[in-house]
Amino acid sequence: MLALNPDQSLSFSQPGVVAKYIGRIGWGLFAEVDFAPGDCLCQLSLDGFADCEIIPWANSFGVYFDRSFTVVPGYAWCASPTHPFWYINHSCAANSGFVNWGQTIHGQMPVVAYQRIARGEQITMDYALFTASYDGDPTGGPWRMNGCLCHSDQCRGVITGFHALPLDLRLEAVMPQSELQGCVPAHMVMEMPGLIRLLRQLSPGLYRSYLEALNEQIALSKALCRVISQKAQPIPAYPFQAAGTAALWTNSGL
């Protein structure tokens, strides 16, 4: 385990960001350079595991809890303290996050600036936008974080998974008023048939990009199942699973 000294800042193999100790809430990730909207801040590797791990979802609790999330169906991506993602704090008005439904580029899932981020500014993500309904505990209970400290005007107080956000916030996350769209991994939307219907009606082009990303994530899940020795255990059933998920898994062109 990396020894973290609060008097030091921490640099990474991925340039442009640095971790700093910020007192009561611990560490945070900060910009070392100016970033424009759409710039990549750091990347999550899905095909090489130097500073991260990908493990079966059922193993993503215990020591992995609060430092992992379900990246593709059945598998969790876990940061290590040598990866910048480890230090990104939550904000209800986050200035960065995933885009394009979490699609990878050359095996890397980018965390992207949602707005201009000036050198020295803290980099934040909205944890709800990459937390699935079953990421709370090994039985599939919902995750929540009480007493948010982001102090933004939009602070929700209690942070939940994406499924528990009001519809307007879920729509804003998948169709924000900017060029950066699909801020939620596609597989998390799969459990929300109402949102999928709205997406299909409101933006057929964005719906197609959702399906493309979903297909990629299902393919990645199947590939991981072949390379990770312990077979993935299925994620717990949720209401939509019986009606729709099985069809999507076997007929992912839907």
Total residues contacting Zn ion by CB under 5 A comes to: 4
Question: Which residue type occupies 68?
Answer: S
CA distance linking residue 247 with residue 212, whole number of Å? 16
228 binds Zn ion (CB under 5 A): no
148 binds Zn ion (CB under 5 A): yes
93 binds Zn ion (CB under 5 A): no
Q: How far is the CB of 149 from Zn ion (least distance, A)?
A: 7
Nearer to Zn ion by Cβ, of 92 and 123: the residue is 92
92 binds Zn ion (CB under 5 A): yes
CA distance linking residue 182 with residue 188, whole number of Å? 11
Site for Zn ion in 152-191 (CB under 5 A): 155
128 binds Zn ion (CB under 5 A): no
Site for Zn ion in 69-88 (CB under 5 A): none
Q: Which of 240, 229, 101, 123 shows the shortest CA–CA distance to 176? A: 101
CA distance linking residue 77 with residue 220, whole number of Å? 12
Nearer to Zn ion by Cβ, of 92 and 224: the residue is 92
CA distance linking residue 150 with residue 91, whole number of Å? 5
| Burial of 253 from C-beta contacts in 10 A (0-12 / 13-18 / 19+) | exposed
Q: How far is the CB of 88 from Zn ion (least distance, A)?
A: 14
The count of other CB atoms within 10 Å of the CB of residue 199 is 21
CB under 5 A: which stretch of 9-17, 102-110, 151-159, 224-232 binds Zn ion? 151-159
Nearer to Zn ion by Cβ, of 145 and 228: the residue is 145
Is the four-CA dihedral 38, 159, 249, 223 of positive or negative sign? positive
235 binds Zn ion (CB under 5 A): no
The binding site for Zn ion (CB under 5 A) comprises 92, 148, 150, 155
